[in-house]
Amino acid sequence: MAEVSTARRTRITPEREAELYAAVLDLLREVGYDALTMDAVAARTRSSKATLYRQWGGKPELVAKAIRHNKPGGADDVDTGSLRGDLRALTYREDDCTMQQNAALMRGLFMAVHGNPDLLQAFRELLVEPEMDEFRRIMQRAVDRGEIRADRPALDYVVHMIVGAFATRSLIDDRPPTQDFLMSYIDAVVLPALGVPVP
Q: Give the interface with a copy of itself as residue ranges (CB under 8 A).
A: 107, 110-111, 113-114, 123-124, 128, 132, 153-154, 156-157, 159-161, 163-169, 171-172, 174, 184-185, 187-190, 192-193, 195
- Distance (Å, rounded) from C-alpha 148 to C-alpha 84? 11
**Shortest distance, CB of residue 172 to a copy of itself, whole angstroms?**
6
Amino acid at 97: C
For residues 52 and 191, which CB has a smaller minimum distance to a copy of itself in the complex?
Answer: 191
**Angle at which helices 96-113 and 59-70 pack, to 10 degrees?**
160
Q: Dihedral, CA atoms, 87, 89, 95, 98, nearest 10 degrees?
A: -70
For residues 22 and 159, which CB has a smaller minimum distance to a copy of itself in the complex?
Answer: 159
For residues 39 and 173, which CB has a smaller minimum distance to a copy of itself in the complex?
Answer: 173
For residues 33 and 56, which CB has a smaller minimum distance to a copy of itself in the complex?
Answer: 33
**Shortest distance, CB of residue 153 to a copy of itself, whole angstroms?**
4
Nearest to 161 by CA among 72, 87, 76: 87
Let me know how long the chain is: 199
